[in-house]
C-alpha cells in the first residue's frame, strides 16, 4: 500500500514562497505527473516527498505512515534524477546493486534482481562497463534500473527524459510507461513537457507559481481546463482566447458575432476554443484573416487574425488557402469554454 498524501505542504526559501499550501492525494499504483514551467515548484514538491528537502509546514504521508521527519532512506522511495547521478566509480552492475547491498541482501538475490532489472531496461550487455563508457541514453537506463531494482513502494522521477534527444525520448516514454505499469509502484513524475505528461499520466497535476491549478486525467485536463493557464499550457497548438462582452443574459458578443454562453453576473468573459475544434463554414460566426500558413504534413496550421487577436486553426492537410484569405469558422458548441478574465478560472 503506497498511497501518498500531501497535506497543506508549504515551502519557503528566505522570502520566496516556492509552494503555497499544497493538498494532493496520490492513489496506490497511480502514475501522477507534476507538470509546469520552470520555477513552478514541481521539483521542490518532489524533493519534499523524497525527503531531500524539508517542508516549511505541512505533512507528508506515504503508505499511511507519516514520513516528513524521516530521512530518504526510511521512506520506501527510489528516485531517478535529471542528470542520472550514476556513480562513476562503480560498474553498471554495482550501480544497480547499490540499494540492494545497502539492504544487506545476499549475493544470489542481488545477482537475480540486477539481471532481471537490467533485462527490463535492455542493458544486460553493459553490466561490466563504467558510466564514463556509456551514452546518455544508456546512463538513463542504468539510473532507472537502479531505482527499480530496490522494488520500492514509490518511485520518484525528476525530468528523467529531458536530457535525451527527441527520438530517444519518444521511445523511452513508451518503455517507461510499460515497465512502470507492470511494476505495481506508485509513480510521481516531474516534467515541463506536456506531451510527456499527456502520454504517460493516469492523472496530471498542473502547477503554476507554487499552486496546483488542476489535477485530473489527461483528457479531462485537455477538454475541461480549470483555468486560463491550463488551456494555454496544454495542447500544441494551445487554446485560442477571444474577449467576449455581454449582450444579454446568456448571450455574448465575440468578435462581432453573437454566441450563446453561460449565465454570469460579469460583463466580460474570455471565450476559448481549441484550434482543432473549429470547422470551415462561410456563414460561420467567426471571421478570421489568415496571416501565416504552416503545412505540417498531417494537418495545416493557419495562424489568423481576429480583431487583432492571434487565432490558430487546424485544418485538413488538403485545404488550399492562402495568406490574406478570410476564413469563416464555426466553433463546435460542446467544445467552447469560457474563462473569467479576472480570476482566470473556468466558468
Partner 1 sequence: MSTAPNMVVGQSRAARWAFNGSVIILCLWVLVPIYLLLSNALSSPSAVTAFPKSIVPSFDTESVEFFLFFNGVGKALWSSVQVAFLTMVMSILIGAPAGYALSRFDFRGKNLFRILVLMTRAFPLPLLALPMAIMFIKVGLDDTVFGLAIVHTTLALPFAVLITFSLFSGIPIELEEAAWTLGCNRFQAFMKVIFPLVLPGIAASAIFAFVVSWNEVFAAAVLTIEHRTLPAFLLQSLDDAPLHLKFAGGAVLVLPALIFIFFVRKYLFAMWGIANR
Binding residues for partner 1, rule: CB under 8 A, are: 50-52, 71-73, 77-79, 81, 83, 85, 87-89, 98-99, 102-103, 146-147, 150
Query: How many other CB atoms sit within 10 Å of the CB of residue 73?
Result: 11
Q: At its nearest, how many Å lie between partner 1 and the CB of residue 147? A: 8
Q: At its nearest, how many Å lie between partner 1 and the CB of residue 94? A: 10
Which residue's CB is nearer to partner 1, number 50 or number 290? 50
Which residue's CB is nearer to partner 1, number 162 or number 232? 162
**CA distances from residue 30 to 155, 185, 218 in whole angstroms, order as listed:** 11, 8, 13
Where does residue 191 rank: exposed (0-12), middle (13-18), buried (19+ CB within 10 A)? buried
Q: At its nearest, how many Å lie between partner 1 and the CB of residue 123? A: 17
Residue-level length of the chain: 347
Q: At its nearest, how many Å lie between partner 1 and the CB of residue 47? A: 9
DSSP 164-177: S-HHHHHHHHHHHH
Q: At its nearest, how many Å lie between partner 1 and the CB of residue 164? A: 17
Which residue's CB is nearer to partner 1, number 81 or number 338? 81
3-state SS assignment for residue 331: strand
| 297 close to 314: Cβ distance less than 8 angstroms | no
**What region, left, alpha or beta, does residue 290 occupy, with left being phi > 0 and alpha being psi -120 to 50 degrees?**
beta
Which residue's CB is nearer to partner 1, number 148 or number 226? 148
Which residue's CB is nearer to partner 1, number 85 or number 280? 85
Amino acid at each position: 500500500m503506497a498511497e501518498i498524501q500531501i497535506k497543506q505542504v508549504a515551502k519557503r526559501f528566505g522570502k520566496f514562497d516556492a509552494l503555497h499550501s499544497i493538498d494532493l492525494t496520490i492513489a496506490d499504483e497511480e502514475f501522477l505527473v507534476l507538470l509546469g514551467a520552470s520555477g513552478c515548484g514541481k521539483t521542490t514538491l518532489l524533493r519534499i516527498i523524497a525527503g531531500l528537502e524539508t517542508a516549511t509546514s505541512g505533512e507528508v504521508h506515504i503508505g499511511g505512515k507519516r514520513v516528513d521527519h524521516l530521512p530518504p532512506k526510511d521512506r520506501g522511495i527510489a528516485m531517478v534524477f535529471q542528470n542520472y547521478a550514476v556513480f562513476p566509480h562503480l560498474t553498471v552492475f554495482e550501480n544497480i546493486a547499490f540499494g540492494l547491498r545497502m539492504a544487506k541482501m545476499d549475493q544470489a538475490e542481488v545477482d537475480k534482481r540486477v539481471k532481471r532489472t537490467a533485462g527490463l531496461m535492455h542493458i544486460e550487455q553493459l553490466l561490466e562497463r563504467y558510466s564514463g563508457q556509456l551514452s546518455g541514453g544508456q546512463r538513463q537506463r542504468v539510473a532507472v534500473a537502479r531505482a527499480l531494482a530496490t522494488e520500492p513502494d514509490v518511485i520518484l522521477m525528476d525530468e528523467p527524459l529531458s536530457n535525451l534527444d527527441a527520438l530517444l525520448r519518444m521511445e523511452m516514454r513508451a518503455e517507461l510507461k510499460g515497465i512502470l505499469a507492470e511494476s505495481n509502484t506508485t509513480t510521481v513524475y516531474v516534467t515541463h513537457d506536456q506531451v510527456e505528461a499527456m502520454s504517460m499520466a493516469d492523472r496530471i497535476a498542473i502547477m503554476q507559481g507554487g499552486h496546483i491549478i488542476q489535477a485530473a486525467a489527461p483528457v479531462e485536463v485537455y477538454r475541461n481546463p480549470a483555468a486560463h493557464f491550463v488551456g494555454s499550457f496544454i495542447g500544441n497548438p494551445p487554446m485560442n482566447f477571444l474577449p467576449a462582452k455581454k449582450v444579454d443574459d446568456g448571450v455574448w458578443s465575440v468578435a462581432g458575432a453573437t454566441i450563446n454562453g453561460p449565465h454570469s453576473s460579469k460583463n466580460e468573459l474570455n471565450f476559448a476554443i481549441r484550434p482543432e475544434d473549429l470547422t470551415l463554414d462561410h456563414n460561420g460566426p467567426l471571421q478570421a484573416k489568415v496571416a501565416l500558413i504552416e503545412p505540417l504534413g498531417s494537418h495545416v496550421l493557419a495562424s489568423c487574425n481576429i480583431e487583432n487577436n492571434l487565432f490558430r486553426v487546424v485544418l485538413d492537410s488538403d485545404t488550399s488557402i492562402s495568406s490574406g484569405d478570410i476564413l469563416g469558422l464555426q466553433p463546435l458548441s460542446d467544445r467552447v469554454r469560457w474563462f473569467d478574465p479576472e480570476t482566470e478560472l473556468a466558468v
